[in-house]
Protein backbone atom coordinates (compact mmCIF):
# COMPACT_ATOMS: atom_id res chain seq x y z
CA UNK A 1 0.00 0.00 0.00
CA UNK A 2 2.11 2.83 -1.35
CA UNK A 3 -0.07 5.74 -0.21
CA UNK A 4 -2.11 4.18 2.58
CA UNK A 5 0.76 2.95 4.79
CA UNK A 6 0.60 4.69 8.17
CA UNK A 7 -2.05 7.13 6.93
CA UNK A 8 -4.85 7.76 9.41
CA UNK A 9 -6.95 10.74 8.25
CA UNK A 10 -7.73 11.05 4.55
CA UNK A 11 -9.39 14.14 3.07
CA UNK A 12 -11.30 14.01 -0.25
CA UNK A 13 -11.71 17.11 -2.40
CA UNK A 14 -15.06 16.73 -4.26
CA UNK A 15 -16.11 13.80 -2.10
CA UNK A 16 -19.69 13.81 -3.43
CA UNK A 17 -18.83 12.45 -6.87
CA UNK A 18 -19.82 8.89 -7.71
CA UNK A 19 -16.22 7.64 -7.98
CA UNK A 20 -14.80 9.63 -5.08
CA UNK A 21 -17.58 8.64 -2.69
CA UNK A 22 -17.11 4.96 -3.53
CA UNK A 23 -13.42 5.10 -2.59
CA UNK A 24 -14.26 7.04 0.58
CA UNK A 25 -16.82 4.42 1.64
CA UNK A 26 -14.37 1.56 1.11
CA UNK A 27 -11.60 3.33 3.03
CA UNK A 28 -14.03 4.05 5.87
CA UNK A 29 -14.73 0.32 6.07
CA UNK A 30 -10.98 -0.33 6.07
CA UNK A 31 -10.73 1.74 9.23
CA UNK A 32 -9.44 5.10 8.01
CA UNK A 33 -10.75 8.42 9.30
CA UNK A 34 -12.43 10.15 6.35
CA UNK A 35 -13.47 13.73 5.73
CA UNK A 36 -14.06 15.71 2.58
CA UNK A 37 -15.65 18.65 0.84
CA UNK A 38 -18.06 19.37 -1.99
CA UNK A 39 -20.20 22.26 -3.14
CA UNK A 40 -23.60 20.84 -2.16
CA UNK A 41 -25.14 17.81 -0.42
CA UNK A 42 -26.50 14.79 -2.26
CA UNK A 43 -27.52 11.22 -1.44
CA UNK A 44 -23.88 10.11 -1.58
CA UNK A 45 -22.66 12.69 0.93
CA UNK A 46 -25.59 11.81 3.18
CA UNK A 47 -24.57 8.14 3.12
CA UNK A 48 -20.97 9.07 3.88
CA UNK A 49 -21.99 11.24 6.82
CA UNK A 50 -24.18 8.43 8.18
CA UNK A 51 -21.16 6.12 7.89
CA UNK A 52 -18.98 8.45 9.95
CA UNK A 53 -17.29 10.78 7.46
CA UNK A 54 -16.97 14.49 8.14
CA UNK A 55 -18.44 16.48 5.23
CA UNK A 56 -17.97 20.19 4.43
CA UNK A 57 -20.05 22.00 1.82
CA UNK A 58 -17.49 24.55 0.72
CA UNK A 59 -13.88 24.51 -0.42
CA UNK A 60 -11.80 26.21 2.29
CA UNK A 61 -8.29 25.74 3.63
CA UNK A 62 -9.72 25.39 7.13
CA UNK A 63 -11.49 22.16 6.15
CA UNK A 64 -8.14 20.34 6.39
CA UNK A 65 -7.82 19.59 10.09
CA UNK A 66 -4.36 19.29 11.69
CA UNK A 67 -4.34 15.48 11.61
CA UNK A 68 -5.04 15.15 7.85
CA UNK A 69 -2.10 13.25 6.32
CA UNK A 70 -3.35 12.36 2.81
CA UNK A 71 -5.51 14.26 0.30
CA UNK A 72 -7.33 12.58 -2.59
CA UNK A 73 -8.67 14.87 -5.30
CA UNK A 74 -11.10 14.51 -8.18
CA UNK A 75 -10.06 15.10 -11.79
CA UNK A 76 -12.32 18.18 -11.80
CA UNK A 77 -10.14 19.89 -9.16
CA UNK A 78 -7.32 22.23 -10.21
CA UNK A 79 -4.25 23.47 -8.38
CA UNK A 80 -5.96 26.75 -7.46
CA UNK A 81 -8.39 24.95 -5.16
CA UNK A 82 -7.86 26.33 -1.61
CA UNK A 83 -7.67 22.84 -0.09
CA UNK A 84 -5.06 21.77 -2.64
CA UNK A 85 -3.05 24.91 -1.86
CA UNK A 86 -3.33 24.24 1.87
CA UNK A 87 -2.24 20.61 1.47
CA UNK A 88 0.83 21.62 -0.53
CA UNK A 89 1.76 24.40 1.89
CA UNK A 90 1.69 21.87 4.74
CA UNK A 91 3.54 19.18 2.80
CA UNK A 92 0.57 16.80 2.81
CA UNK A 93 0.72 14.15 0.09
CA UNK A 94 -1.92 14.61 -2.64
CA UNK A 95 -3.02 11.85 -5.04
CA UNK A 96 -5.66 11.68 -7.75
CA UNK A 97 -8.79 9.57 -7.60
CA UNK A 98 -7.43 7.36 -10.39
CA UNK A 99 -4.15 6.77 -8.57
CA UNK A 100 -5.90 5.75 -5.36
CA UNK A 101 -8.25 3.45 -7.26
CA UNK A 102 -5.23 1.81 -8.89
CA UNK A 103 -3.74 1.17 -5.45
CA UNK A 104 -6.93 -0.47 -4.22
CA UNK A 105 -7.10 -2.62 -7.37
CA UNK A 106 -3.48 -3.70 -6.85
CA UNK A 107 -4.29 -5.02 -3.36
CA UNK A 108 -6.62 -7.71 -4.73
CA UNK A 109 -7.42 -9.58 -7.91
CA UNK A 110 -8.91 -6.67 -9.78
CA UNK A 111 -11.85 -7.11 -12.14
CA UNK A 112 -12.09 -3.89 -14.14
CA UNK A 113 -14.89 -3.09 -16.59
CA UNK A 114 -13.88 -0.75 -19.39
CA UNK A 115 -15.74 0.60 -22.41
CA UNK A 116 -17.62 3.66 -23.58
CA UNK A 117 -21.04 2.21 -22.67
CA UNK A 118 -22.34 -0.33 -20.16
CA UNK A 119 -19.63 -0.10 -17.50
CA UNK A 120 -21.90 0.57 -14.54
CA UNK A 121 -24.49 -2.11 -15.29
CA UNK A 122 -21.85 -4.71 -16.16
CA UNK A 123 -19.74 -4.06 -13.07
CA UNK A 124 -22.89 -4.08 -10.93
CA UNK A 125 -23.88 -7.44 -12.39
CA UNK A 126 -20.42 -8.89 -11.74
CA UNK A 127 -20.29 -7.62 -8.16
CA UNK A 128 -23.77 -9.01 -7.45
CA UNK A 129 -22.84 -12.34 -9.02
CA UNK A 130 -19.70 -12.63 -6.89
CA UNK A 131 -21.52 -11.67 -3.69
CA UNK A 132 -24.27 -14.22 -4.36
CA UNK A 133 -21.60 -16.88 -5.01
CA UNK A 134 -20.11 -16.24 -1.56
CA UNK A 135 -16.89 -14.64 -2.83
CA UNK A 136 -17.39 -11.50 -0.69
CA UNK A 137 -15.98 -8.96 -3.18
CA UNK A 138 -15.10 -5.34 -2.70
CA UNK A 139 -16.83 -3.19 -5.33
CA UNK A 140 -16.56 0.42 -6.46
CA UNK A 141 -19.28 1.14 -9.03
CA UNK A 142 -20.15 4.23 -11.07
CA UNK A 143 -23.78 4.12 -9.93
CA UNK A 144 -25.85 3.03 -6.94
CA UNK A 145 -26.48 -0.70 -7.34
CA UNK A 146 -29.92 -1.71 -6.06
CA UNK A 147 -28.61 -5.00 -4.68
CA UNK A 148 -26.10 -3.22 -2.41
CA UNK A 149 -28.11 -0.05 -1.87
CA UNK A 150 -24.88 1.79 -2.58
CA UNK A 151 -22.18 2.51 -5.15
CA UNK A 152 -19.62 0.61 -3.07
CA UNK A 153 -19.24 -2.41 -0.83
CA UNK A 154 -16.31 -3.67 1.20
CA UNK A 155 -15.59 -7.38 1.25
CA UNK A 156 -12.94 -9.65 2.74
CA UNK A 157 -12.65 -11.79 -0.39
CA UNK A 158 -9.90 -11.89 -3.00
CA UNK A 159 -11.67 -9.86 -5.69
CA UNK A 160 -12.30 -6.17 -6.30
CA UNK A 161 -14.77 -5.10 -8.99
CA UNK A 162 -14.58 -1.61 -10.43
CA UNK A 163 -15.03 0.52 -13.52
CA UNK A 164 -12.04 1.65 -15.56
CA UNK A 165 -12.77 5.27 -16.48
CA UNK A 166 -11.52 6.23 -19.92
CA UNK A 167 -12.85 9.80 -19.81
CA UNK A 168 -9.67 11.33 -18.36
CA UNK A 169 -7.16 8.58 -19.15
CA UNK A 170 -7.09 7.31 -15.56
CA UNK A 171 -7.95 3.79 -16.76
CA UNK A 172 -4.32 3.51 -17.88
CA UNK A 173 -3.26 3.53 -14.21
CA UNK A 174 -5.06 0.24 -13.55
CA UNK A 175 -3.44 -3.17 -13.82
CA UNK A 176 -6.37 -5.55 -13.35
CA UNK A 177 -6.23 -9.33 -13.30
CA UNK A 178 -9.44 -9.60 -15.30
CA UNK A 179 -10.45 -6.86 -17.72
CA UNK A 180 -13.90 -6.70 -19.29
CA UNK A 181 -14.06 -4.61 -22.46
CA UNK A 182 -17.64 -3.83 -23.53
CA UNK A 183 -17.14 -1.58 -26.58
CA UNK A 184 -15.27 1.37 -28.06
CA UNK A 185 -17.11 4.43 -29.31
CA UNK A 186 -16.38 8.08 -29.98
CA UNK A 187 -16.78 9.82 -26.65
CA UNK A 188 -14.67 12.11 -24.48
CA UNK A 189 -13.06 13.38 -27.66
CA UNK A 190 -12.03 16.53 -25.79
CA UNK A 191 -9.49 14.21 -24.14
CA UNK A 192 -8.71 11.74 -26.94
CA UNK A 193 -8.77 14.36 -29.76
CA UNK A 194 -9.09 11.79 -32.59
CA UNK A 195 -10.17 8.20 -33.28
CA UNK A 196 -6.65 6.84 -33.67
CA UNK A 197 -5.63 8.14 -30.24
CA UNK A 198 -8.81 6.67 -28.76
CA UNK A 199 -7.96 3.21 -30.10
CA UNK A 200 -4.29 3.51 -29.07
CA UNK A 201 -5.24 4.32 -25.49
CA UNK A 202 -7.53 1.30 -25.31
CA UNK A 203 -4.75 -0.87 -26.75
CA UNK A 204 -2.45 0.40 -24.03
CA UNK A 205 -5.09 -0.40 -21.41
CA UNK A 206 -5.46 -3.95 -22.73
CA UNK A 207 -1.70 -4.46 -22.49
CA UNK A 208 -1.80 -3.65 -18.75
CA UNK A 209 -3.66 -6.83 -17.77
CA UNK A 210 -1.63 -8.80 -15.23
CA UNK A 211 0.17 -11.99 -16.22
CA UNK A 212 -2.10 -14.98 -15.74
CA UNK A 213 -5.21 -12.84 -16.09
CA UNK A 214 -7.86 -12.63 -18.80
CA UNK A 215 -9.25 -10.20 -21.34
CA UNK A 216 -13.02 -10.57 -21.64
CA UNK A 217 -14.32 -8.72 -24.69
CA UNK A 218 -17.39 -8.33 -26.89
CA UNK A 219 -16.72 -9.84 -30.30
CA UNK A 220 -19.76 -7.92 -31.62
CA UNK A 221 -17.51 -4.84 -31.71
CA UNK A 222 -14.96 -5.31 -34.54
CA UNK A 223 -12.56 -2.83 -32.96
CA UNK A 224 -12.32 -4.98 -29.84
CA UNK A 225 -11.55 -8.05 -31.93
CA UNK A 226 -8.55 -6.16 -33.32
CA UNK A 227 -7.46 -5.02 -29.86
CA UNK A 228 -7.13 -8.52 -28.41
CA UNK A 229 -3.71 -8.89 -30.05
CA UNK A 230 -2.33 -6.32 -27.60
CA UNK A 231 -3.17 -8.56 -24.66
CA UNK A 232 -0.75 -11.19 -23.39
CA UNK A 233 -3.55 -12.59 -21.25
CA UNK A 234 -5.97 -15.39 -21.95
CA UNK A 235 -8.84 -14.06 -24.11
CA UNK A 236 -12.51 -14.98 -23.84
CA UNK A 237 -15.16 -13.42 -26.08
CA UNK A 238 -18.89 -12.91 -25.68
CA UNK A 239 -21.70 -11.72 -27.89
CA UNK A 240 -24.47 -12.67 -30.27
CA UNK A 241 -22.34 -13.90 -33.17
CA UNK A 242 -21.40 -17.50 -33.83
CA UNK A 243 -17.74 -16.87 -33.04
CA UNK A 244 -18.46 -15.83 -29.44
CA UNK A 245 -17.13 -18.09 -26.71
CA UNK A 246 -20.10 -17.14 -24.50
CA UNK A 247 -23.17 -16.55 -26.63
CA UNK A 248 -26.83 -15.61 -26.22
CA UNK A 249 -29.53 -17.04 -28.47
CA UNK A 250 -33.33 -16.96 -28.54
CA UNK A 251 -33.66 -13.67 -26.66
CA UNK A 252 -37.14 -12.78 -25.42
CA UNK A 253 -38.52 -9.88 -23.41
CA UNK A 254 -41.38 -9.92 -20.93
CA UNK A 255 -42.09 -6.82 -18.89
CA UNK A 256 -38.82 -5.59 -17.46
CA UNK A 257 -37.17 -9.01 -17.79
CA UNK A 258 -35.05 -10.40 -20.62
CA UNK A 259 -34.42 -14.13 -21.10
CA UNK A 260 -31.94 -15.95 -23.32
CA UNK A 261 -30.34 -19.31 -23.97
CA UNK A 262 -26.71 -19.13 -22.86
CA UNK A 263 -23.96 -21.18 -24.49
CA UNK A 264 -20.33 -21.63 -23.50
CA UNK A 265 -18.16 -23.08 -26.27
CA UNK A 266 -21.35 -24.42 -27.89
CA UNK A 267 -22.38 -26.19 -24.66
CA UNK A 268 -25.83 -25.16 -23.41
CA UNK A 269 -25.56 -23.57 -19.95
CA UNK A 270 -29.27 -22.99 -19.49
CA UNK A 271 -32.06 -20.49 -19.98
CA UNK A 272 -30.96 -17.34 -18.14
CA UNK A 273 -33.09 -14.40 -17.05
CA UNK A 274 -32.07 -10.87 -16.13
CA UNK A 275 -34.33 -8.31 -14.49
CA UNK A 276 -33.32 -5.36 -16.66
CA UNK A 277 -34.65 -4.65 -20.17
CA UNK A 278 -32.94 -4.38 -23.54
CA UNK A 279 -30.59 -6.32 -25.76
CA UNK A 280 -27.69 -4.15 -24.59
CA UNK A 281 -28.23 -5.51 -21.09
CA UNK A 282 -28.19 -9.08 -22.38
CA UNK A 283 -24.74 -8.27 -23.76
CA UNK A 284 -23.71 -6.88 -20.37
CA UNK A 285 -24.96 -10.08 -18.73
CA UNK A 286 -22.84 -12.19 -21.10
CA UNK A 287 -19.76 -10.31 -19.88
CA UNK A 288 -20.70 -11.23 -16.31
CA UNK A 289 -21.18 -14.86 -17.37
CA UNK A 290 -17.61 -14.83 -18.74
CA UNK A 291 -16.29 -13.63 -15.39
CA UNK A 292 -18.22 -16.36 -13.62
CA UNK A 293 -16.80 -18.98 -15.97
CA UNK A 294 -13.22 -17.73 -15.44
CA UNK A 295 -13.71 -17.89 -11.66
CA UNK A 296 -14.91 -21.48 -11.90
CA UNK A 297 -18.54 -20.86 -10.95
CA UNK A 298 -21.16 -23.33 -12.10
CA UNK A 299 -24.01 -22.50 -14.45
CA UNK A 300 -26.56 -22.61 -11.61
CA UNK A 301 -24.52 -20.14 -9.52
CA UNK A 302 -24.15 -17.75 -12.46
CA UNK A 303 -27.83 -17.99 -13.33
CA UNK A 304 -28.86 -17.28 -9.74
CA UNK A 305 -26.42 -14.40 -9.38
CA UNK A 306 -27.67 -12.66 -12.52
CA UNK A 307 -31.26 -13.02 -11.36
CA UNK A 308 -30.36 -11.23 -8.11
CA UNK A 309 -29.26 -8.12 -9.99
CA UNK A 310 -32.14 -5.65 -10.25
CA UNK A 311 -30.40 -2.70 -11.85
CA UNK A 312 -28.80 0.53 -10.74
CA UNK A 313 -30.14 3.99 -10.13
CA UNK A 314 -30.52 6.15 -13.25
CA UNK A 315 -30.28 3.14 -15.59
CA UNK A 316 -33.82 2.58 -16.87
CA UNK A 317 -35.00 3.42 -13.37
CA UNK A 318 -38.79 3.27 -13.27
CA UNK A 319 -40.25 5.86 -10.91
CA UNK A 320 -43.72 4.39 -11.30
CA UNK A 321 -46.92 4.53 -13.32
CA UNK A 322 -49.06 7.55 -12.49
CA UNK A 323 -52.51 8.05 -14.02
CA UNK A 324 -51.51 5.61 -16.74
CA UNK A 325 -48.21 7.41 -17.48
CA UNK A 326 -44.96 5.53 -16.82
CA UNK A 327 -42.01 7.70 -15.78
CA UNK A 328 -38.52 6.34 -16.46
CA UNK A 329 -35.12 7.89 -15.82
CA UNK A 330 -31.94 6.88 -17.65
CA UNK A 331 -28.35 8.11 -17.57
CA UNK A 332 -27.99 7.76 -21.36
CA UNK A 333 -26.08 10.77 -22.68
CA UNK A 334 -24.38 9.39 -25.80
CA UNK A 335 -26.24 8.76 -29.08
CA UNK A 336 -25.59 4.99 -28.93
CA UNK A 337 -26.91 4.81 -25.36
CA UNK A 338 -29.98 6.90 -26.18
CA UNK A 339 -30.87 4.71 -29.17
CA UNK A 340 -30.46 1.52 -27.09
CA UNK A 341 -32.62 2.91 -24.27
CA UNK A 342 -35.41 4.02 -26.60
CA UNK A 343 -35.30 0.60 -28.29
CA UNK A 344 -35.70 -1.05 -24.88
CA UNK A 345 -38.66 1.23 -24.16
CA UNK A 346 -40.38 0.05 -27.34
CA UNK A 347 -40.53 -3.51 -25.96
CA UNK A 348 -43.17 -2.29 -23.48
CA UNK A 349 -45.42 -1.22 -26.36
CA UNK A 350 -46.42 2.17 -24.91
CA UNK A 351 -48.89 4.27 -26.88
CA UNK A 352 -46.23 6.98 -27.09
CA UNK A 353 -42.61 7.28 -26.02
CA UNK A 354 -41.97 10.83 -24.84
CA UNK A 355 -38.24 11.51 -24.68
CA UNK A 356 -36.74 14.28 -22.59
CA UNK A 357 -33.06 14.95 -23.22
CA UNK A 358 -30.58 17.28 -21.57
CA UNK A 359 -27.29 17.31 -23.53
CA UNK A 360 -24.27 16.70 -21.29
CA UNK A 361 -21.10 18.75 -21.89
CA UNK A 362 -20.51 21.27 -24.65
CA UNK A 363 -17.61 19.23 -26.06
CA UNK A 364 -19.68 16.06 -26.43
CA UNK A 365 -22.51 17.99 -28.08
CA UNK A 366 -19.99 19.56 -30.49
CA UNK A 367 -18.23 16.32 -31.48
CA UNK A 368 -21.37 14.17 -31.74
CA UNK A 369 -23.98 16.67 -32.97
CA UNK A 370 -24.69 14.79 -36.21
CA UNK A 371 -25.13 11.47 -34.38
CA UNK A 372 -27.40 13.11 -31.80
CA UNK A 373 -29.57 14.40 -34.65
CA UNK A 374 -30.58 10.88 -35.64
CA UNK A 375 -30.64 8.95 -32.36
CA UNK A 376 -34.13 9.96 -31.19
CA UNK A 377 -36.13 8.36 -34.01
CA UNK A 378 -37.80 5.81 -31.72
CA UNK A 379 -39.39 8.59 -29.64
CA UNK A 380 -42.85 9.77 -30.70
CA UNK A 381 -42.40 13.13 -29.00
CA UNK A 382 -39.10 14.71 -28.01
CA UNK A 383 -38.28 17.52 -25.62
CA UNK A 384 -34.79 19.04 -25.79
CA UNK A 385 -33.41 21.51 -23.28
CA UNK A 386 -30.24 23.42 -22.42
CA UNK A 387 -26.82 21.77 -22.17
CA UNK A 388 -25.60 20.66 -18.74
CA UNK A 389 -22.06 22.04 -18.68
CA UNK A 390 -20.45 19.65 -16.14
CA UNK A 391 -18.08 22.52 -15.30
CA UNK A 392 -17.03 23.03 -18.93
CA UNK A 393 -16.78 26.47 -20.46
CA UNK A 394 -19.44 27.27 -23.05
CA UNK A 395 -18.53 26.84 -26.72
CA UNK A 396 -19.83 29.51 -29.09
CA UNK A 397 -22.57 28.17 -31.35
CA UNK A 398 -23.12 24.99 -29.30
CA UNK A 399 -26.45 25.13 -27.47
CA UNK A 400 -29.46 22.97 -26.79
CA UNK A 401 -31.46 25.05 -29.26
CA UNK A 402 -28.89 24.45 -32.01
CA UNK A 403 -29.10 20.70 -31.34
CA UNK A 404 -32.90 20.96 -31.52
CA UNK A 405 -32.58 22.58 -34.96
CA UNK A 406 -30.39 19.67 -36.11
CA UNK A 407 -32.89 17.09 -34.82
CA UNK A 408 -35.74 18.85 -36.65
CA UNK A 409 -33.66 19.09 -39.83
CA UNK A 410 -32.91 15.37 -39.61
CA UNK A 411 -36.65 14.72 -39.75
CA UNK A 412 -38.09 14.29 -36.24
CA UNK A 413 -41.71 15.40 -36.63
CA UNK A 414 -42.57 16.10 -33.00
CA UNK A 415 -39.56 17.71 -31.35
CA UNK A 416 -39.75 20.82 -29.17
CA UNK A 417 -37.23 22.93 -27.29
CA UNK A 418 -38.21 23.91 -23.74
CA UNK A 419 -36.33 25.45 -20.82
CA UNK A 420 -35.70 22.90 -18.08
CA UNK A 421 -37.87 24.56 -15.43
CA UNK A 422 -40.92 24.37 -17.75
CA UNK A 423 -40.60 20.74 -18.86
CA UNK A 424 -42.65 19.04 -16.14
CA UNK A 425 -45.62 21.38 -16.56
CA UNK A 426 -45.48 20.92 -20.34
CA UNK A 427 -45.59 17.13 -20.00
CA UNK A 428 -48.49 17.36 -17.56
CA UNK A 429 -50.44 19.23 -20.27
CA UNK A 430 -49.72 16.82 -23.14
CA UNK A 431 -49.63 13.45 -21.34
CA UNK A 432 -52.09 10.68 -22.16
CA UNK A 433 -52.74 7.32 -20.50
CA UNK A 434 -50.39 4.74 -21.99
CA UNK A 435 -47.49 7.15 -22.44
CA UNK A 436 -43.96 6.31 -21.31
CA UNK A 437 -41.86 9.36 -20.44
CA UNK A 438 -38.11 8.68 -20.55
CA UNK A 439 -35.91 11.35 -19.00
CA UNK A 440 -32.42 11.04 -20.53
CA UNK A 441 -29.09 12.57 -19.55
CA UNK A 442 -26.17 12.51 -17.13
CA UNK A 443 -26.74 15.96 -15.65
CA UNK A 444 -29.42 17.22 -13.26
CA UNK A 445 -32.26 16.32 -15.63
CA UNK A 446 -33.15 13.50 -13.21
CA UNK A 447 -34.86 16.21 -11.17
CA UNK A 448 -37.54 16.32 -13.89
CA UNK A 449 -38.32 12.62 -13.42
CA UNK A 450 -38.77 13.20 -9.69
CA UNK A 451 -40.91 16.29 -10.32
CA UNK A 452 -43.12 14.38 -12.76
CA UNK A 453 -43.59 11.57 -10.27
CA UNK A 454 -44.91 14.15 -7.79
CA UNK A 455 -47.06 16.18 -10.18
CA UNK A 456 -48.73 13.42 -12.20
CA UNK A 457 -49.87 11.59 -9.08
Rg (CA), the chain: 22
Cα torsion 358, 184, 109, 272 to 10°: value is 80
Helix axes 423-430, 446-456, angle to 10 degrees: 40
As a whole number of angstroms, the distance between CA 56 and CA 35 comes to 8
Tell me which H or E stretch contains 83.
helix 82-89
Residue among 45, 94, 120, 363 flagged as catalytic: 120
CA 22 to chain centre: 13
CA nearest 182: which of 210, 221, 145?
A: 221
As a whole number of angstroms, the distance between CA 276 and CA 274 comes to 6
375 marked ligand binding residue:
no
Residue among 119, 303, 420, 431 flagged as catalytic: 119
Per-position DSSP letters for 362-410, written without gaps between them: HHHHHHTHHHHHTTTTT-SEEEE-PPB-TTPPP-TT--HHHHHHHHHHH
CA nearest 243: which of 214, 273, 213, 263?
A: 263
120 marked ligand binding residue:
yes
Residue 8 annotated among the catalytic residues of the structure: no
Could you tell me if 24 and 48 are in contact, meaning their C-beta atoms sit under 8 angstroms apart?
yes
Per-position DSSP letters for 112-177, written without gaps between them: EEESSSSHHHHHHHHHHHHHHTT---EEEEEEEETTTTEEEE--SSSEEEEEE--TTSGGGG---S
Q: How many CA atoms lie within 13 A of 97 on its CB side?
A: 28
320 marked ligand binding residue:
no
Residue 119 annotated among the catalytic residues of the structure: yes
Residue 392 annotated among the catalytic residues of the structure: no
Residue among 132, 144, 163, 301 flagged as catalytic: 163
118 marked ligand binding residue:
yes
Could you tell me if 185 and 223 are in contact, meaning their C-beta atoms sit under 8 angstroms apart?
no
Helix axes 279-294, 119-132, angle to 10 degrees: 40
As a whole number of angstroms, the distance between CA 295 and CA 133 comes to 10
DSSP 97: H
Residues serving a catalytic function are 119-120, 163
Which parts are annotated binding residues?
A: 115-121
Which parts are annotated binding residues for ATP?
A: 115-121
Amino acid sequence: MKYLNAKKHIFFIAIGGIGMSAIALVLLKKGFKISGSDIKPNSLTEKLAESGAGIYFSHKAGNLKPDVDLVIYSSCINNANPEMLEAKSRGIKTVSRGTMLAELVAEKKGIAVCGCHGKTTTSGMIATLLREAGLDPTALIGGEVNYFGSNACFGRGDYLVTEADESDGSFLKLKPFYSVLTNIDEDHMDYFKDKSTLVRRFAQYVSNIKKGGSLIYSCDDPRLVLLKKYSCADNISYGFTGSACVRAKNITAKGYDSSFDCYYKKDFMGRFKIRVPGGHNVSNALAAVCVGVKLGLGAAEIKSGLLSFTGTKRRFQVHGCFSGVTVVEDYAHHPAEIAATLKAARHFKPKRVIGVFQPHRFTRTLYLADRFAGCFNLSNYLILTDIYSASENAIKGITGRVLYDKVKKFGHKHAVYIEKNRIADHICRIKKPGDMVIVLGAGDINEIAQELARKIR
